Amino acid sequence: MVEDPGFAGQMEHMYLHDLSNAREIVLHARHRKPVETSKRTIIGQNRKGGSAGRTAAGVMRLGHAVGAALTNRRDLGPAEAIIMWWGAALLATFGGVVAYWPRAAAVPAAVLSLWIAISLAIRAYKLKR
């Protein structure tokens, strides 16, 4: 999402310029997908399950927006207000759970730490080879 009309116009002009210089690539009939299926997939109506990549990207956006709000590194726009509300709700819920049941935070934190440690050790081993 672009909030600056001037910048949005420049991006549209560059896109149209790129589009005018693009070449169509036609696949053989056996490799084609129906257009309706592609549109439904892009819109998100025909999903069979979640994706770890999409979830990780969402968590990263949440983390970046919350970090920017706490440190004042950059200006946040109205589009990021929903992220702030979700961040506040999640942190308040987490704080309430931890205040009432301390083990509810300790066990997942230990599991997460071990998981990250094992992942890093595997990555280090692969890099060393």
120 Rama sector, left if φ>0, alpha if ψ -120 to 50, beta otherwise: alpha
User: Is pLDDT above 60 for 124?
Assistant: yes
Instruction: For 67-96, write each residue's pLDDT tens digit.
Output: 777 777 777 777 777 878 887 888 888 888
DSSP H stretches of helix in 72-102: 81-100
User: Contact at 8 Å (CB) between 8 and 2?
Assistant: yes
Residue type, 94: F
User: Is pLDDT above 80 for 98?
Assistant: yes
Contacts for 83 with CB less than 8 Å, ≥ 6 apart = 61, 62, 65, 66
Average pLDDT over residues 114-120: 89
What is the distance in angstroms between the CA of the first residue and the CA of the last residue of the chain?
A: 43
Instruction: For 7-64, write each residue's pLDDT tens digit.
Output: 888 988 998 988 888 887 777 766 666 655 544 455 555 555 567 777 877 777 777 7
